[in-house]
Amino acid sequence: MTDYYEILGVERDATPEQIKKAYRRLARELHPDVAGAEGEEKFKDVARAYEVLSHREKREQYDMGVDPTAPGGGAGGGFGQGFGFQDIFETFFGGGGQAAGPVPRARRGQDALVRLDIDLVEATFGAKRELQVDTAVVCGTCGGKGCRPGTDLQTCVACHGRGNVQRVARSFLGQVMTTAPCDVCKGFGTIIPEPCAECSGDGRVRSRRTLTVNVPAGVDTGTRIKLTSQGEVGPGGGPAGDLYVEIREKPHEVFVRRGDDLHCTLPVPMTAAALGTVLELDTLDGAQEIDLRPGTQPGQVVTLKGLGVGHLHGNGRGDLNVHVEVQVPTALDDEQVEVLRNLARLRGEERPEPRLAAAHPGVFSRLRDKFSGR
């Protein structure tokens, strides 16, 4: 069986790109116009090898020992059976086929991205913000046509407005008609005889604009707000792309955000935690009373429902979680020391018996990391 891999000069595990590259190189070398008539048979061998190895199913058959181009061999057929002649045109003429016509000068502009810094209050309740953007806009002098006022586009004399030209080239198939973009008008079919002095014929200029952005409640860092048709105006005064506003939320001095919930720490004196008290906390919604029950423990969480960040895709808001931090006094005068000693005697805690309780797994993890030097 013919070794198609050897004919193309590639390894048996070659990728489709490597096979295609090897075929194109050999096809150019063995073209009859280059190698003469004696190269025609070798060219057919190269083409047959490429026909098999570039087709996934045929290559699988070949790797299993079946030549799909042989009579009765799988897909059957001979040279040219299901062969991609488009590859031949691309190899020798850099394209081919029929062109779609002149390229329109007005094309859609690119999308643009800007960033907007907001604070926690704006993320919680939403806001309206003014944003300055520097983008391409339609040229006010020529209205996007690219021509000096008083002049107009002219039909290209080289392609007669078609945007492409046809050429005849020789190949082993005979004379082949190819189509390529016109070099004079660059495929537009028209030329600008006198470009606009303001935009140099592009139909657009850069300008700074002020836009109003509606920031919905619930946005977070990384959220993108789409402003349709507020991006870059396209060449030739084409339609504008979209503008994306990416949100960056600034850290708050008191509250930490986790999803749509807010967290804060409330320092409480030891006596207030033991006896219970009512404290006033400044939240994003104003002052709120916190009712601490007698015997409040360090780390206890008091949840204020619905005082968190608004939900971006739904109604309602998250919660505000207040983490109690019991403060133990460190500087006591003699009278305060005596009071605490009397309390300890009354509670039988002058010499408390040490009782170990099960620790949270996180404690052991931190201890392990400490001793291991992590």
DSSP state of 179: E
| Closest C-alpha among 183, 24, 165, 184 to residue 98 | 165
Integer Cα distance of 188 and 186 in angstroms? 6
Annotated binding site: 139, 142, 156, 159, 182, 185, 196, 199
Length reported for the chain = 374
How many other CB atoms are there within 10 angstroms of residue 358's CB atom?
Answer: 6
Judge contact between 189 and 163, C-beta under 8 A. yes
Residue 154 phi, psi dihedral angles, 5° rounding: -120, 145
Q: Which two tokens stand for residue 242?
A: 């979209």
Q: Which helix (H) or strand (E) holds 118?
A: strand 112-118
Distance of CA 167 to the CA centre of its chain: 42
Integer Cα distance of 291 and 288 in angstroms? 10
Q: Which residues contact 289 (CB under 8 A, 6 or more apart)?
A: 278, 279, 280, 281
3-state secondary structure 308-371: CCECCCCCCECCEEEEEEEECCCCCCHHHHHHHHHHHHHCCCCCCCCCCCCCCHHHHHHHHHHH
| Closest C-alpha among 62, 35, 64 to residue 51 | 62
Judge contact between 186 and 162, C-beta under 8 A. no
210 by Cβ neighbours in 10 Å (0-12 / 13-18 / 19+) ranks as: exposed
Annotated binding site for Zn(2+): 139, 142, 156, 159, 182, 185, 196, 199
| Closest C-alpha among 145, 308, 326, 161 to residue 237 | 145
Over the range 137-159, which residues count as b (16 or more CB within 10 Å of their CB) and which as e?
bbbeebebbbbbeeeebeebeeb
Q: Please tell me whether residue 113 adopts helix, strand or coil conformation.
A: strand
